Amino acid sequence: MTGRDTLQTLVDDLADELRRSVAIDDPLVRMLCTSRHFGDEDDVRIRAVLQHDAGPDVSGFVLGQGVARWPRPGMLAGSAELGMSARFCVPLRERGELLGLLMVIDADRSLAGPEIARIEQVSKTAAALLHGTRLAADDAEAGREHTLRRLLGPEPDARRDALAAGTASGWLSDAAQVVVTVLEARPREVSPAETEAALRSVLESGARRRPQRLLPLLDGTRGILVHTAAQLDHDDVVREARRMTTGLGRLLGEPDAAVAGVGEPVAGLAEAWQSHTHAVAAAKGARLLPDLGPVAEWAKLGAYAILMQIPDAALLPGLVPEPVARLLGDPKGARLAGTLRTFLDHGGSIPRTAEALHLHRTSLYYRLDRIRAISGLDLDDGRNRLLLHTGLLVADLVAQQ
């Protein structure tokens, strides 16, 4: 009998003893195993049984009660809006790590002392079983993640060896087209452990939807999905990225904490590292430049595609060219910088710039003269224009650090 079978038997026996519905969920409130009903089932339980997932709203409601940080068992409040009855909940921990949640429906809060004691006794066995199952799964997953990490890494020999090892072991299958998506989570108030758990949940959910096409990898506060197919639908890849950023933001309780970058399609897993590099840069763009996000595509980054290769640690004020820094530091720097951007974006055309800014040409000439005076640069020189244009883009990135 497997660990999962033993856990199911434990849940069934406890439910029969209590005559109440019992379930064990993972730390993100996704059902692992459940008993039969005893007439106490609610909408949330029925949905979870049918779909193996009660949905992000329920997860957010439960986690919002702080259950992941509970030091001891307690009552979870119900919600008429969600169709959820109150539940007695026991956090299942082993060596301090939260492995799951044992829940017993208790709509009228009638559980007695002996019943609660029995639930807590069973919870200790359940935690031990989950710990053993987790160790075995972690070993297998660690091997796959190590191979995938090498496949996407910078070393050609390591990439070649990883592809050979993954293919030989049977879990890695090459495809004609590959696209990599990178998810980034930068929550303000959620702990690293909770962030990692939320990322893992989103990655696993995506992989479950398309098990033959998606390879997930967790890398700290970054999640990676390798999409593989004979013919990929790029729009579908972007839609999936949007779905995951929305779900991740909901789990973290901070909708703006999640961004994603989508790389360009490449031919086969041997070239996946290139799409990964593009996706990392695109995710950085979505993070630093809100107008690009929350999902940015490498193909649409334009000039920012080059600038996104600059390490975060190098994005300091000193990187902004001095002429641009002087312009931005002027009391009217914001207005003058906006004028300069528009002028450069329109190829230095006075008529088109004046039209775009709704300015009389005399006013535009005045502003351009001020820009020349402050920056010390001749705007008719193409090299100066390149410096100013690039400098403004760099200033955008530095301002977001």
**What pLDDT score does 1 carry?**
47
Cα torsion for 198, 203, 204, 210, to the nearest 10°? Answer: 150
pTM of the predicted model as reported, rounded to 2 decimal places: 0.67
Last residue of a domain, one of 138, 165, 188: 138
Largest CA distance in the chain: 87
Are 182 and 298 members of one domain? yes
Radius of gyration of the chain (CA): 27
Q: Are 331 and 298 found together in one domain? A: no
The DSSP symbol for 300 reads: G
In tens, the pLDDT along 229-239 reads: 888 888 989 99
Q: Is residue 157 part of a domain?
A: no
Q: Is residue 163 part of a domain?
A: no
> What is the rounded distance in angstroms from the CA atom of residue 383 to the CA atom of residue 385?
5
| pLDDT-based confidence at residue 261 (cuts at 50, 70, 90) | very high
The amino acid occupying position 215 is: L
In a domain, 167, yes or no: no
CATH code of the domain containing 179? 3.30.70.270
How many CB atoms neighbour CB 268 within 10 A? Answer: 13
Q: 319 and 269, same structural domain? A: no
CATH number, residue 38: 3.30.450.40
234 and 290: one domain? yes
Same domain, 28 and 123: yes
Query: What is the spatial distance between Cα 241 and Cα 261, in angstroms, rounded to a whole number?
Result: 8
Domain boundary, last residue among 267, 291, 307: 307
Calculate the CA 176 to chain-centre distance: 26
Give the residue-averaged pLDDT of 247-275: 90
Please indicate, yes or no, whether residues 287 and 354 belong to a single structural domain of this protein: no
User: Per residue in 130-147, pLDDT tens?
Assistant: 877 765 555 556 678 888
- Euclidean distance between CA atoms 85 and 385, whole angstroms: 65
Strands 295-297 and 258-262: parallel
CA angle 336, 341, 347 (to 5 degrees): 125
Buried b (16+ CB within 10 A) or exposed e, 346-363: beeeeeebbeebebeeee
Residue 362 lies in a domain: yes
Residue 156 lies in a domain: no
pLDDT at 210: 67
Q: Is 149 domain-assigned?
A: no
* Mean pLDDT of all residues in 55-68: 85
Residue 364's domain is classified under what CATH number? 1.10.10.2840
* Among 239, 273, 307, residue at a domain's last position: 307
Nearest to 285 by CA among 255, 262, 266, 268: 262
Please state the length of the chain: 401
State residue 3's pLDDT score. Answer: 54
Residue 206 scores a pLDDT above 80: no
Query: What are the helix (H) ranges across 88-217?
Result: 113-151, 156-169, 192-209
For residues 300 and 319, membership in a common domain is answered with no
φ/ψ of 158, rounded to 5, equals -65, -40
- 66 touches 236 (CB < 8 A): no
Alpha-carbon distance 258 to 252, whole Å?
9
Cα–Cα distance between 365 and 239 in angstroms, integer?
Answer: 45
Answer whether residue 284 is part of any domain: yes
Looking at the structure, do residues 180 and 267 belong to the same domain, yes or no? yes
Has residue 241 been placed in a domain? yes
Q: Do residues 266 and 332 share a domain? A: no
- Considering the domain architecture, whether residues 293 and 327 belong to the same structural domain is answered as no
Domain housing 321: 315-399
Share of residues in the chain with pLDDT > 90 (%): 49
269 lies in the same domain as 245? yes
Q: Domain count of the chain?
A: 3
User: To the nearest whole number, what is the mean pLDDT of the chain?
Assistant: 87
In a shared domain, residues 9 and 130: yes
